[in-house]
Amino acid sequence: MLSCRQQISRLLFRNASTLARVQAAGYVEVQEEQGDLLRYPQVWLRDNCQCAECFHTATRARKSHWERGPLNIQVSQVAYNQEKEQLEVLWQDKHKSAFDISWLRERDFGEAARKRYLEEVYKPSAQLWGKSEFEAVRREFQYQDVIHQDAVLRDWLEALAVQGFAILKGAPNDINVAKHLAKRIGYIKRTTYGDVFEVKSKPNAGNYAYLMTPLPLHTDMPYYEYKAGINILHTLVQSESSGGANTLTDGFNVASQLQKLHPEHFEVLRSVPVNWFDIGHDGDDAKPFHSLWRAPVICLDVDGRITRINQNTTKRDSRFSISLEQAVSWYKAYDKFLETAQSEAVEFKTQAGDVFVFNNLRMLHGRTAYEDAPGNKRHLVGAYVDWDIIYSKLRTLKFPNAKD
């Protein structure tokens, strides 16, 4: 019986620098001259063969499919072509593949390469902040720069992804500002409130936000499965009364603190679904709506990271479709969550011409009570955009030449 080393050397093709070899366990290794060892499952290489028969370059689409036979065909031979800088694979069914080393490097299964891709291309990491860090993380941009300069647009979108909020200064006194910003990113998110919504005190208000009372810390639309990604709030008229200030807390930071200091409460808020609801009518055409979504206060993504916070006292249903015991422990955990959120909340007051934009999946926002006066009626116009649209725009700005 051959030793492992002998097996490898039989399959090994060596050249002056980089070498490639098949491993018995079903992997192909490429040992680069400068030390990096790249390893790929054979089945993955076959699945991602870049030849014209297997891959349609113009549409960046894989053409291989089950009708053409299973993917788990064994490698017959591998070689590294120094001149073309390609890994060449001959398969047992005589199919041939060639992979550029640069293409392979970008798809390295090693931890560092995966992390780099997820942070640089997929989504920038959130920088969590508490009350004491607010001034340090606060970013401001000029409205006109965001509209006219791609580099500033990119910085603004990155701030929304990383710090979770930013303030634009110098917007004109125009009710279309929020709409223009949404279009500058891509597409506005149309909701049951219309394309845009006006926040001002209204007689016979259909929504709690349209009263002059304080608005407790909340996220918008927890009762939507596809909840709005960012909230763009343009201040046209600010209240001259002492109130009308914005309150803001980083909900991811609150959840993260809870996870460290009160893991049992975190677990409850992560797992117990709450019924969020909104019933009424609004928007240009005043169509009636009846929105419902069951979801925990803290939602995690596939990697176990905090991805969405749901909190809105005014939109939390008295119907709680869980067991008696769960309800009692949920209230204890929720109390701690709100206490932490309140203790980490900052307060600031936007001025006319400011556009306050924040991540609605992450930030809890609210406002203090105010008083309208004749000749001074607080007036904000808001619009939403989804994160799918924002991340896509951000990537096109960061990687304008991306091919696949």
- Where along the sequence are the contacts to Zn ion (CB under 5 A)? 49, 51, 53-54
Q: State in angstroms the smallest separation of the CB of 51 from Zn ion.
A: 3
Q: Which residues of 200-209 are buried (b: 16+ CB within 10 A; e: fewer)?
A: bbeeeeeeeb
Residue whose C-alpha is closest to residue 356's, from 238, 275, 203, 193: 238
CB nearer to Zn ion: give 63 or 114. Answer: 63
Q: State in angstroms the smallest separation of the CB of 326 from Zn ion.
A: 53
CB nearer to Zn ion: give 71 or 295. Answer: 71
CB nearer to Zn ion: give 27 or 91. Answer: 91
Residue whose C-alpha is closest to residue 195's, from 168, 223, 209, 175: 175
Q: State in angstroms the smallest separation of the CB of 117 from Zn ion.
A: 24
- Read off φ and ψ for residue 32, nearest 5 degrees: -80, 155
CB nearer to Zn ion: give 76 or 271. Answer: 76
Q: State in angstroms the smallest separation of the CB of 55 from Zn ion.
A: 7
What single-letter DSSP state applies at residue 131?
G
CB nearer to Zn ion: give 73 or 147. Answer: 73
Q: State in angstroms the smallest separation of the CB of 85 from Zn ion.
A: 19
H or E element at residue 367? strand 363-367
CB nearer to Zn ion: give 62 or 332. Answer: 62
* Calpha distance 218→198 (Å, rounded): 18
CB nearer to Zn ion: give 46 or 180. Answer: 46
CB nearer to Zn ion: give 48 or 360. Answer: 48
| Residue partners of 209: CB distance under 8 A and separation at least 6 | 199, 215
Q: State in angstroms the smallest separation of the CB of 97 from Zn ion.
A: 5
* Calpha distance 293→311 (Å, rounded): 12
Q: Is 85 left (phi over 0), alpha (psi -120 to 50) or beta?
A: left
CB nearer to Zn ion: give 95 or 183. Answer: 95
In 104-214, DSSP assigns E strands to 140-142, 165-169, 196-199
| Residue partners of 28: CB distance under 8 A and separation at least 6 | 20, 21, 22, 39, 40, 42, 45, 75, 78, 87, 89
Q: Which two tokens stand for residue 206?
A: 């259909």
Q: State in angstroms the smallest separation of the CB of 90 from Zn ion.
A: 11
Q: State in angstroms the smallest separation of the CB of 61 from Zn ion.
A: 13
Q: State in angstroms the smallest separation of the CB of 156 from Zn ion.
A: 43
90 close to 80: Cβ distance less than 8 angstroms:
no
Q: Which two tokens stand for residue 341?
A: 């959120």
Instruction: Report the length, in residues, of the chain.
Output: 404
Q: State in angstroms the smallest separation of the CB of 81 from Zn ion.
A: 16
Residue whose C-alpha is closest to residue 165's, from 121, 118, 129: 129
Residue whose C-alpha is closest to residue 235's, from 364, 356, 374: 356
CB nearer to Zn ion: give 53 or 335. Answer: 53
Counts of helices then strands in the chain (DSSP H, E): 12, 22
